[in-house]
Amino acid sequence: MLLADDHDLFRESVAAMVSADGKVEVVSVSGLQAALDMLAKQHFDLVLLDYQMPGMNGLEGLGRAINAAPKVPVAVMSGTTLRDLANEALACGAVGFVPKTLGIKAMIAAVKRMAAGEIFAPLSMLDDPPPLGAPLDDLTRREREVLEGICDGKSNKEIARDLDIQEVTIKLHVKTLTRKLGAKNRTHAAMIARDSGMVRP
């Protein structure tokens, strides 16, 4: 399997767990061009592309990957669970839409099903939320600043130092903003912010 995602920690964690628990050989890269280069050199049974990574330009990158290897099933991953995005990806030729919030066992099962030629789109996990900007619009200025720090990979201590406030206050802001965004944790909050296009990757 070829896994393309620019979040190093996420990519390496998924690759390691799918390789170990799913007994699937995984090659991982951090951008679309690197994925296209790999497809030109090697055959894969499945390609998983992060929707928001460099070079994707929405679903244009999906089309480029499909054209590069017409016989290889290509699926899209996303930190958000938008039904419209999933439907659009499938309409563009993707064999699946994989929310990044999937548990590892479900992820492995999805990988095997898609590699076998099945379509994967977990309808129970997909929804029609308010416009993408709406959850972030509910954040205060300070919560947005904290979220930007999270998206930059900074710890609570580093964010507190940057904003010149107490670390315990940062923890409270993180708790509040994750609740407002409906995020499971700070990593999920960063994915939502990035996929919303309101916070830079």
Q: What is the pLDDT of residue 94?
A: 95
> Tens digits of per-residue pLDDT, 95-119?
999 988 888 888 889 999 999 889 9
Residue 68 near residue 40 (C-beta atoms within 8 A): yes
Strand partners, 39: none
On the question of pLDDT at 129 being above 60, the answer is no
Query: How far is the C-alpha of 23 from the C-alpha of 8, rounded, in Å?
Result: 21
Order across the sheet with 74-78: list the strands.
27-29, 2-4, 47-50, 74-78, 96-99
pTM of the model: 0.63
Residue 200 has pLDDT above 70, yes or no: no
Mention every residue, 6+ apart, whose C-beta is less than 8 A from residue 77.
5, 48, 49, 50, 51, 98, 99, 100
